[in-house]
Structure 1
Amino acid sequence: MNYTLHQLQIFLEVVKQESVTRAAEAMHMTQPALSIQMRNFQQQFDRPLMEVVGRKIYITDFGKEIAEMAGRVVKEAQEIKFQTKEYSGELSGSLKISVVSTGKYVMPYFLAEFLDLHHAVDLQLDVTNKSLVVESLKQNQVDFALVSVRPDRMDLESIDLLENKLYMVGNKEQFDADRPFIFREKGSATRKGMDEFLKSRKNRKRLELTSNEAVKQAVIAGLGYSIIPLIGTKHELENGDLFIIPTEGLPIKTMWQLVWLKGKRHSPAAKAYLEFLSERKEALAKLHFEWYM
């Protein structure tokens, strides 16, 4: 057999994404280039690794076995690289962080300087919905998670990064009682805050969307009003696409927190990152979020 480490990484990404297109995007490759590598990898085996039915990819049982072994090989290869860096006195390793969707406006600003200081540290940043973030914590699949509302019934430690503020917004300065509210999906922290705020009011017909970005665009288009985190609205407010509607009882305030399982044994990279945040988080918040604070 004559497969490469890169082909193993590509195959694992296809298995994870269950899509060649999404795998190519995640690997920063063109779809044709990734397909060629996958075809060359498949040619190493006399049994199919996956099947395509319609437009959906299904991993065969044999493919799942190969993916499990490939995962171990890739992990060991990463450990060799990290150990080589550590022997030279350079901080290395990987940081795995899961971030709720709105956290994409926050987390990168608390990472960039650390990664500039430590070029041998690899970052895996997964931006997803709250339920998957919580599940990754429960399964101990990540070093840290960024949340604005602490998950229930989990024994966690945390460090506060930035206040989270939710305001009523619309595409006009005045509130029109005939227009509906636009909600996030159930389970999101934004939806929880909105439900709490509106529970004593008579709500008009509602729309429900699955991301803050989708809600924001719906509000800009004039479909209704919503209560959303201020952190992701800077440019829209500056451009006059959105307006904050002064409302009694708002803003709702929570805290962006980096959380991890209590008692977790951190890698050297994760320990270094916590030390970095303890020293630099206030300065970074002031540098990047002065408009917001």
Structure 2
Amino acid sequence: MLKNATFRQLAAFHAVSRLGSVSRAASELHLTQPAVSIQLKLLEESAGAPLLEKNGRGVRLTAAGELMAGYAARILELWREAGDEMAAQRGLFSGTLRVGAVTTAEYLLPPLLVAFAGQHPEVKVKLQVGNRDEIVRMLATQEVDIAIMGRPPAELKTTAVAFAKHPMAFLASPEHPLMKQRRPALADLVEANLLARERGSGTRTTLERLYKEAGVPLRIGSEMSSNEAIKHMCAAGFGVAFLSLHTCALELQAGLLAVLPMAGNPLQRDWYAMHLASRRLPQVTSAFKQFLADEGQGLIDAQLRRLAPAAKRRGAARRGN
């Protein structure tokens, strides 16, 4: 049994089992759908049992498929580890850094990835961005090796390290009536058309937890799936927003947005880098995790300092017009 199975067949099956779709697996593997289907058929013939069955427009694992999926993941991971170790034996530091990041983190990750890649030019970077639920799923299915988000997921056993501060705040246009109040409270935002991210995002989860802990009913005025949309609507005076300050450094420095003068605003949270506790990290991922712990906060601070002068010049020019 399985004496004729190949790594190509296992890779095709592993991709389909993770993604639930032959077409999505073909896209990830840069193959045609017929090519993936052929590999799946050959593996099923070698296994002597059907591994997949149709499920609407996608596919799902059979009982035999569930068993095979676990072994396929372990075999492919072990083979990748072997490749990393052999490269290390030759004095090479290479591989693919597979990072998943919540949408808010895409504002702070580029300088970190650029700096890391600059230190290790043989490393390739694969970055996937999504809301919190999507990144947790990618981590669980091993589509990414390390995830960047504001809070470790309770639904997965992970090893996490905090590598930078994450300020979050209620924001408004400088001309918003609430900016003139001495100390607005959470209850005052109920009638202010509170702009919030969609359910499943880390920012939304933090907002819901904040109101729950304060014992104040949360009423969302407008829900949006884009930080950019929220920023623009808030700057136009459409309502009050709750956002990570990393997403709106330019708007704050240019005077388009301002932090509401509320007690405890902004909030200080942390950015975490995390991976599955049960997995041995690839060499390149382990190095990136250490890099974030050692240099993450300093690089983020430096990026903000570089942005400040340019934002002030744009703000001055706008006021001059």
- The interval holding the TM-score normalised by the smaller chain is 0.5 to 0.7
Distance 1:20 1:155 in 2: 29
Matching residue of 2:168: 165
Q: TM-score, normalised by structure 2?
A: 0.63
* Cα distance change, pair 5–95 in 1 and its aligned pair in 2 (3 A): same
The answer (yes or no) to whether the contact 2:148–2:272 under 8 Å persists in 1 is yes
Q: In structure 2, what residue type is equivalent to 1:190?
A: T
SS in structure 1 at match of 2:66? helix
**Match 2:245 to one of 211, 230, 233:** 230
The answer to whether residue 214 in structure 2 is matched with residue 182 in structure 1 is no
Of 38, 41, 62, the residue aligned with 2:39 is 41
Query: Matches of 2:37 and 2:281 in 1, distance apart?
Result: 38
Aligned to 1:15: 17
CA-to-aligned-CA distance 1:75-97 (integer Å, 9 cap, x gap): 23212311220111123566565
Distance 1:175 1:62 in 2: 63
Bigger Rg, which one: 2
- Is 1:216 equivalent to 2:219 in the alignment? no
Q: Which residue of 1 aligns with 2:59?
A: 57
Kindly state the Cα deviation for residue 203 of structure 1 after the two structures are TM-superposed: 6.3
Q: Which amino acid aligns with 1:74?
A: L
1:237 to partner: Cα distance: 7.4
Q: How many residues are matched?
A: 286
Q: TM-score, normalised by structure 1?
A: 0.68
- Counterpart CA distance in 2 for 1:48 and 1:223 is 56
Deviation at 1:41, TM superposition (A): 0.9
Match in the other structure for 1:253: 268
How big is each residue's C-alpha offset from its partner over 1:5-35, in whole Å with a ceiling of 9 and x where there is no partner? 34532332221111344435544x3xxx431
Quote the sequence identity (%): 24
Change in 2 beyond 3 A, CA 1:132/1:163: same
Return the alpha-carbon distance in structure 2 between the equivalents of residues 20 and 182 of structure 1: 38
Task: Assess if the C-alpha contact under 8 Å between 1:164 and 1:256 holds in 2.
Answer: no
SS of 1:89's partner is coil
- In 1, the alpha carbon distance for the partners of 2:25 and 2:231 equals 27
Distance 1:155 1:10 in 2: 27
Helix, strand or coil for the counterpart of 1:36? helix
Deviation at 1:151, TM superposition (A): 6.7
Question: Quick check: 41-50 or 179-188, which moved more?
Answer: 179-188
Please list, as runs of the form range in 1=range in 2, the aligned pairs for 1:99-138 lying within 5 A after superposition: 99-119=101-121, 121=123, 127-130=129-132
Gaps of 5+ in 2: 179-188, 310-321
Task: Give a deviation string over 1:193-220, Cα, whole Å, max 9, x none.
Answer: 43436957786663455x4548638947
Displacement after TM superposition at 1:145 (Å): 4.4
CA separation of 1:292 and 1:15: change in aligned 2, threshold 3 A: farther
C-alpha distance in 1 between matches for 2:230 and 2:167: 17
- 1:225 offset after TM fit, Å? 3.7
How much does 1:184 deviate? 3.6
Q: 1:252 to 1:127 in 2, by over 3 A?
A: same
Contact 2:102 2:131 in 1 (8 A): yes
Structure 1 residues 259, 235: closer, same or farther in 2, change over 3 A?
same
Contact in 2 for aligned 1:161/1:256 (Cα 8 Å): yes
TM-aligned CA distance change 1:204 to 1:162, over 3 Å: closer
| Letter of the structure 2 residue corresponding to residue 206 of structure 1 | G
Counterpart of 1:90 in structure 2: which amino acid? Answer: L
The 10-residue stretch of structure 1 (200-209 or 135-144) with the greater mean CA deviation from structure 2: 135-144
8 Å contact kept, 2:26–2:36: no
- CA deviations 1:218-270 (Å, max 9, x no partner) are 94798754211232246777999x744644343333232435799x9866545
Query: Secondary structure in 1 aligned to 2:32?
Result: helix
What is the distance in 2 between the residues matched to 1:266 and 1:69?
18
| Unpaired segments ≥5 residues, structure 1 | none
**Partner of 1:206 in structure 2?**
221
Contact 2:146 2:274 in 1 (8 A): yes
Alignment RMSD? 4.8
> Do the aligned residues in 2 keep the contact of 1:157 with 1:259 (CA within 8 Å)?
yes
